Amino acid sequence: MSNTSPYDAMFSSIIGQDYDMLQLLSPAATEMSRLVGSTVNACPTTTEPLQIVELGGGTGVTTLALLTANETLQVFSIDNEPVMQQQAKQRLQHWVDQERLTFCADDALTALQQLASDSVDIIASAYTLHNFLNNYREQVLKEVFRVLKPNGKFINADRYGLNDISQHTLIVQEEVKHYFKVLAPLNRPDLLEQWIVHLFSDESENHVMREAVALQQLQDCGFASITVSDRNAINALVTAKKPPSENSPA
């Protein structure tokens, strides 16, 4: 990551090319993507089809979970890493042809700033926000709140750091051990190096998304009904709702 970039750009290199290795490195990640899809599908709505904005579509794992969870929703998938997004385009061409999926190559903040206020039913994401620098993440969340319709939902599966720092550190140590167990037998020291370097970025003070701080940040943006569920080690699903306007039903 460069000193000027507000987000982690390492996915443009070897990690982006081998991102599917994440399913071996962190099996929980695939399950969290599935949970994003099922949570979106469970959301009540008065509009059809649901308009979904996905932050950080990557190689399309969560995008696919969204598209297959509900056969009518439409997804606007944002990702500014071309290596990863190209993989998603190849895998998900079927849904592009059905006009249910559109790709955007801007960064998250730029893409959101171009969307109208109160225009989107749900903004969903998985393993994207933790890559942002804290101040950039705050700007993104403010835009998420602005773009969502009243009663709209933000659904995010991500690395939400434990408030107990000692326990958090133990979990991260086990995570590193698992990296070695998976990648050393595959003779992939290059990928092992990149994932550990990326983990240092995740855990740095200006990146780490500690649960208590992250939830307060959502509340400060104006969100209500903020919940944390399905925690698995460092992973958790967070949902938040934009309150209804005076003229909208609760």
Specify the pLDDT at position 204.
87
Specify the pLDDT at position 178.
86
What's the topology of domain 10-241?
Rossmann fold (3.40.50)
Contact 101, 77 (CB under 8 A): yes
User: Residue 193: CB partners within 8 Å, gap ≥ 6?
Assistant: none
The token pair that represents 92 in the structure block: 């998900």
228: amino acid identity, one letter: V
Contact 188, 4 (CB under 8 A): no
- The percent of residues above 70 in pLDDT, for the chain, comes to 87
3-state class (DSSP) for residue 11? helix
Specify the pLDDT at position 249.
56
pTM listed for this prediction: 0.86
| CA 118/CA 139 separation, integer angstroms | 17
User: What is the rounded radius of gyration, in angstroms, for the C-alpha atoms of the chain?
Assistant: 17
Cα separations in angstroms, 249 against 69, 82, 149, 153, 226: 25, 40, 12, 15, 19
Phi-psi region of 60 (alpha: psi -120 to 50; beta: other; left: phi over 0): left
Per DSSP, helices labelled H in the chain are: 14-17, 22-25, 27-41, 61-69, 82-91, 93-97, 108-113, 134-147, 165-183, 189-203, 211-221
| CA 125/CA 75 separation, integer angstroms | 12
Per-residue pLDDT of the chain (250 residues; tens, 9 = 90+): 333 455 444 444 433 444 556 666 677 888 899 999 999 988 876 667 889 999 999 888 899 999 988 888 999 999 998 888 998 898 899 999 999 999 999 999 999 999 999 999 999 999 999 989 999 999 999 999 999 999 999 999 999 999 999 999 999 999 889 889 888 888 988 888 888 888 888 888 888 999 999 999 999 999 999 999 999 999 999 999 999 986 655 5
Contact 90, 64 (CB under 8 A): no
Per the DSSP assignment, residues forming a β-bridge with 1 are none
Specify the pLDDT at position 45.
67
Specify the pLDDT at position 122.
96
Residue extents of the structural domains in the chain: 10-241
CB atoms within 10 A of CB 198: 16
Specify the pLDDT at position 10.
42
Contact 138, 112 (CB under 8 A): no
Specify the pLDDT at position 243.
97
Specify the pLDDT at position 15.
36
Specify the pLDDT at position 190.
85
